[in-house]
Amino acid sequence: MPVTEQDSTKLKDFTRDKDFTKAMHGESYKKKGLFALMAKSKDASSIATDGYFKHWDGKVGKEDEKKRLDDYSQLTHHYYNLVTDFYEYGWGSSFHFSRYYKGEAFRQATARHEHYLAHKMNIHEDMKVLDVGCGVGGPGREICRFTDCEIVGLNNNDYQIERANFYAKKYKLDHKLSYVKGDFMKMDFEPETFDAVYAIEATVHAPVLEGVYSEIYKVLKPGGVFGVYEWVMTDAYDETNEEHRAIAYGIELGDGIPKMYKREVAEKALQNAGFEIEYQQDMADKDDDIPWYYPLAGNWKYIQTLGDIATVFRTSWLGRKITTETVGLMEKIGLAPAGSKEVTNALEQAAVYLVAGGEKKLFTPMMLYVARKPLKGESADFSTANRTVA
């Protein structure tokens, strides 16, 4: 098969990303948290910081959004080069929110959230499953253990792939888990490869949801299921409201998102891709006593365990200040790479906006859709009667 210009460009981009990852991260994928952060190349980290923050100047006009959307791949790649170690240090290896019950430990809630998705999708041991935007593989490892299925993780960040492979070998799951470098807007898998596909708070990085959903539809077998926890602005969000748009922009800047879309956009995108939506539910809209954003809120009323004391203090105003200034000091004396304080500040500000979006019910990180690709000869039924809204 002849190599097209598009294939050649992709190969060059992948080679560039791999070389940059090696230059920036070296062997730090074998370390964890702040120890990994201290092992970075200072020069390469500075390039990644500049490459990311050049997209953010406080402007939210259509032209500014278009620039971020056009450069979504490099924007996301730079973002996760910068924040992966911070995420693991503060959150663990599953980069997502969860529902919380009273008396429930953080990691228990995280696993339950992942199990719930696998349950709603009816994933089982005979399936080959694609994890779109797999991060460092935390959810994949949990779902693999829970169902014994085979999982392929798709990721556009080489450093996260290195870490995911490291963990798979460490926990002796590498016979069931594998990871592929790729762009979820242009997947290289053969059509109808997977029995199921899931994405946990990852497809929000797509410039156009219909684009990534169509790629997922393509690689699913007929009758296959797609499950997604999607980040969306809720029906209460008003793009023309200055306060609402400021909240959305704060989330976008701190979380590497070119553009936040409303719930209705995600639903329509699934339908346009050809999916039949079998179940949809905003899992954040359950009036839980412990809200999904409690780990970021710094509110003492949510303390349930000794571990929560440290979590709540760290996300209080004082805790955020101490974290930011500590990282700044590490950067100043050469223990952390250039730009670390700027990255920390962006993450801390994003937390503030995420909490505000949650409290005002303008935003949800867990709009759950379970959708199916029709069998050959069938067509998707988009009627309201055919959807379950819990």
- Edge-to-edge strands of the sheet including 177-181? 177-181, 150-155, 128-132, 194-200, 220-233, 363-372, 276-282, 388-389
Identity of the residue numbered 309: I
pLDDT for 301 equals 81
pLDDT for 66 equals 86
Four-residue CA torsion sign, 214, 220, 221, 223? negative
**d(Cα 246, Cα 139) in Å, to the nearest integer?**
31
pLDDT for 380 equals 61
Per run of 10 residues, the mean pLDDT along the chain (length 390 residues) is: 58 80 86 79 86 80 82 87 88 94 90 98 97 97 98 96 96 98 96 98 96 98 98 96 95 93 97 98 94 89 78 80 88 85 89 96 98 83 48
Backbone angles phi, psi at 387, to 5 degrees: -110, 145
CA 186 to each of CA 9, 14, 192, 315: distance values in angstroms, whole numbers, following the listed order: 13, 13, 15, 38
pLDDT for 385 equals 38
Sole residue written with tokens 């809204």: 389
Identify the DSSP state of 189.
S
Instruction: Enumerate the H helices of the chain as residue ranges.
Output: 5-25, 33-37, 42-53, 62-70, 72-91, 106-121, 138-147, 158-170, 209-219, 242-255, 263-273, 294-297, 306-314, 317-332, 340-359
**Of 303, 297, 289, 285, whose CA–CA distance to 105 is shortest?**
303
**d(Cα 261, Cα 268) in Å, to the nearest integer?**
11
Residues near 361 by beta carbon (within 8 Å), at least 6 away in sequence: 234, 236, 285
Q: Are 194 and 221 in contact (CB under 8 A)?
A: yes
pLDDT for 384 equals 43
Backbone angles phi, psi at 95, to 5 degrees: -85, 70
What structural domains does the chain harbor?
Answer: 1-390 (3.40.50.150)
Strands 363-372 and 220-233: antiparallel
Residue pLDDT, tens place only, 40-71: 888 888 888 898 888 877 767 778 788 888 88
Residue pLDDT, tens place only, 253-305: 999 999 999 999 999 999 999 999 999 999 999 989 999 999 998 888 887 77
**Of 241, 237, 281, whose CA–CA distance to 260 is shortest?**
237
**d(Cα 234, Cα 358) in Å, to the nearest integer?**
10
What 3-state class would DSSP assign to 132? strand
Give this prediction's pTM. 0.90
What 3-state class would DSSP assign to 245? helix
**d(Cα 103, Cα 284) in Å, to the nearest integer?**
18
The total of other beta-carbon atoms located within 10 Å of residue 221's CB is: 18
Q: Are 280 and 388 in contact (CB under 8 A)?
A: yes
**d(Cα 147, Cα 142) in Å, to the nearest integer?**
9
Identity of the residue numbered 197: V
Cα of first residue to Cα of last residue in the chain, in angstroms, is: 48
CA 125 to each of CA 134, 191, 259, 292: distance values in angstroms, whole numbers, following the listed order: 19, 21, 36, 30
Quick one: the chain helix, strand, coil %, rounded to 5? 50, 15, 35
